[in-house]
């Protein structure tokens, strides 16, 4: 099983590290350097060797771990930092989504060198763009304009605008078991659940983090389980169906915790 991560090196450059987990632990398979910070990464859904990063210069980089040199392709259209990238989860379409500090989201086909479509409407930085795992062509975006927005790639303009927090929203994710349920995480330290059929009130609010929530992810194995990480250095696990939803707080990090994901292969691994 391969994992990818990225980190900042000095002098404004970034490194993509591809790791393998085996009996000996976690070993570095390969690393690639880029001349700007890398903010997000997504694996291809149709080629185990291909992944895409996005960076501070506004570009997306397509990498092949089977090759030793630089990126296969660089897609440069965003005019400010590209902060989020996600490969479509639904079968039958190989589409990539990016979100940028230029307030736009863009749709890409990795086989085509330029974007297929640009989505405008947010009035602030876009921090997160996430495909629906259920509905083809549907994605969510979270922004510094304090809204969560739902889009359909086949229709111009935004489908739904949810004023989810009275603070910048840094992260969002879709429930893997309910196509109408999303979660947002914001600078106000709260996580909120949203049912797209009734957006007047959140279906849950989870409190506990003491600084901005940087990323939130639903579990691939449990319908009501999610994980979040924060500038408070912690990773927290929640079950929103329980009266006391905070299951665990992990405090092993000594710096800002900026990203996390849950393994699709191992129920207990984050």
What CATH number has the domain spanning 14-163? 2.130.10.10
Q: Inform me whether the pLDDT recorded for 10 exceeds 50.
A: no
Residue-wise pLDDT tens digits, 149-189: 999 998 878 899 999 999 999 999 999 999 999 999 999 99
Residue-wise pLDDT tens digits, 68-85: 788 999 999 999 999 999
Q: Structure pTM?
A: 0.93
Taking alpha carbons only, the member of 166, 160, 159 closest to residue 144 is 166
Task: Let me know: does 157 contact 121? Beta carbons within 8 Å.
Answer: yes
Q: What is the DSSP string of 165-216?
A: -SS-EEEEEE-SS-TTEEEEEETTSEEEEEETTB-SS-SEEEE--SS-EEEE
Two structure tokens written together for 103: 């307030």
Taking alpha carbons only, the member of 9, 35, 32 closest to residue 19 is 32
Average pLDDT over residues 190-201: 97
Taking alpha carbons only, the member of 27, 55, 31 closest to residue 41 is 55
Taking alpha carbons only, the member of 158, 150, 252, 148 closest to residue 191 is 148
Contacts of 140 by beta carbon, 8 Å cutoff, 6+ apart:
128, 129, 130, 132, 148, 149, 150, 151, 172, 174, 182
Two structure tokens written together for 138: 């549907």
Specify the range with the lowest mean pLDDT, choosing from 10-14, 181-185, 191-195.
10-14
Task: Let me know: does 71 contact 32? Beta carbons within 8 Å.
Answer: yes
β-pair partners for 204: 193
Residue-wise pLDDT tens digits, 19-70: 988 888 989 989 999 999 999 999 998 888 999 999 999 999 999 998 878 8
Taking alpha carbons only, the member of 216, 204, 208, 213 closest to residue 262 is 216
The domains of the chain are located at 14-163
Q: Inform me whether the pLDDT recorded for 9 exceeds 80.
A: no
Mean pLDDT, the chain, integer: 92
Q: What percent of the chain lies above the pLDDT cut of 70?
A: 95
Give CA–CA dist 251/235, Å, rounded. 7
């Amino acid at each position: 099983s391969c994992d990818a991560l990225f980190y900042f090196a000095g002098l404004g450059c970034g490194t993509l590290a591809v790791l393998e987990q085996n009996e000996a632990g976690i070993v570095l398979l390969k690393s690639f350097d880029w001349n700007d910070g890398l903010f997000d990464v997504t694996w291809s859904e149709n080629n185990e060797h291909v992944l895409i990063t996005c960076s501070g210069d506004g570009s997306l980089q397509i990498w092949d771990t089977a090759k030793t040199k630089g990126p296969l392709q660089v897609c440069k259209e965003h005019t400010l930092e590209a902060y989020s990238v996600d490969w479509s989860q639904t079968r039958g379409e190989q589409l990539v989504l990016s979100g940028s500090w230029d307030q736009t989201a863009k749709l890409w086909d990795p086989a085509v060198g330029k974007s297929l479509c640009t989505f405008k409407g947010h009035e602030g930085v876009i921090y997160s763009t996430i495909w629906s795992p259920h509905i083809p062509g549907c994605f969510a975006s979270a922004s510094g304009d304090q809204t969560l927005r739902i889009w359909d790639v086949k229709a111009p303009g935004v489908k739904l605008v949810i004023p989810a927090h009275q603070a910048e929203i840094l992260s969002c994710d879709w429930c893997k078991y309910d196509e109408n349920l999303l979660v947002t995480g914001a600078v106000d330290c709260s996580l909120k659940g949203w049912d797209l059929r009734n957006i007047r009130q959140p279906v849950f609010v989870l409190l506990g983090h003491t600084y901005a929530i940087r990323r939130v992810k639903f579990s691939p194995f449990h319908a009501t389980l999610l994980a979040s990480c924060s500038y408070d250095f912690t990773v927290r696990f929640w079950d929103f169906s329980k009266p006391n939803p905070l299951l665990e707080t992990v405090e092993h990090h000594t710096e800002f915790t900026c990203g996390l994901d849950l393994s699709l292969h191992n129920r207990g691994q984050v």
